[in-house]
Amino acid sequence: MALAPGGGPCYRAGTVELGPFREIDMRISANLGFLYGALPQIERIAAAARDGFDAVEFHCPYEVPAADLAAALAQAGLPGLGINTRPGDAAAGEFGLGAVPGRETEADAYLDEALDYAAAAGIRNIHVMAGKASGAAAERSFVRHLSRGAARAENLGITLLIEPLNSVDVPGYFLTGTDHARRIVEQVGRSALRIMYDLYHMQIMQGNNINRIRALGPLIGHLQIAAVPGRAEPDRGELAMGRVLRDCGYTGFVGAEYRPTIPPGEWLSRFRERLEH
């Protein structure tokens, strides 16, 4: 996440029409949960560096010792932007535990593990997976969980992220819109908690992305992109991705979290060339 002098995510002020995208100094992060999947986790970092990505982010790299991940990042010269908390029993359909009533002990343990791992590996952000739940009890559980974790994250210099997901891909997920995410962040009231805005998920659920990102401003800690529909390369589909990224005001790292149909380096070169014209 790009930081302004005061420590928060970087945004441009105002809503005037902006100039060419290349003036924004866009930095693109390879999401290694989706990209370079044929390689072992540790080798994906070097592959992303060779292809010209500016950073990397992960889903759940816990099988790699944190010290080894830190060494690979240092050797590649790339920052590690994020990891997820464990999803729980993925085979049973679980998608996180943070907002699931009755699973508080497991959820806290997963977040503690993620904080320890991120601190040791030099990872900047943790996506706290909410899980499949609904209602007031779930919201209370999530706020309690995030409040506890954010207090510790602040001491470690790590940011926690919550991400609204679309209800087509993840039916029953607790968090599906940015208004709800904003309410959660404001209830917790900690500088170490921000929103991860995924244009793929939010185009499906809400649309109006430029105005929504502008309105959220510094509450957004990270932004991710993929094509809608299909979640393929982000320069495909119904979104004018270049215009959205140019005009929304966000200037931090952009996470490329998509399902590749061509080599990632080939897409990255094509994407950057198109954005500059």
From the candidates 57, 139, 163, 233, which is the catalytic residue?
A: 163
With 90 as the cut, is the pLDDT of residue 3 above it? no
The pTM (predicted TM-score) of the whole model is: 0.91
Find, among 50, 2, 43, the residue nearest to 26 by Cα. Answer: 2
The label of the residue with tokens 């995410």 reads 181
**Architecture, CATH, for domain 24-275:** Alpha-Beta Barrel (3.20)
Out of 57, 139, 233, 257, the active site residue is 257
Is residue 277's pLDDT more than 90? no
Is 266 part of the annotated catalytic residue set? no
Q: Distance between CA atoms of 88 and 92, rounded to whole angstroms?
A: 9
Beta bridge partners of 127: 84, 161
Q: What is the chain's mean pLDDT, rounded?
A: 92
* Residue 31 contacts residue 257 (beta carbons within 8 Å): yes
Express each pLDDT in 235-268 by its tens digit. Answer: 999 999 999 999 999 999 999 999 999 999 999 9
Lowest mean pLDDT among 6-15, 29-38, 118-127, 206-215: 6-15
Is pLDDT of 192 > 90? yes
Q: For the residues 6-15, what does the mean pLDDT come to?
A: 43
Query: In the predicted model, what is the mean pLDDT of residues 20-39?
Result: 81
Q: What is the pLDDT of residue 9?
A: 53
Indicate whether 11 pLDDT > 50.
Answer: no
> What mean pLDDT do residues 92-102 have?
98
Is 163 annotated as catalytic? Answer: yes
Query: pLDDT by residue (tens digit) across 40-95?
Result: 999 999 999 999 999 999 999 999 999 999 999 999 999 999 999 999 999 999 99
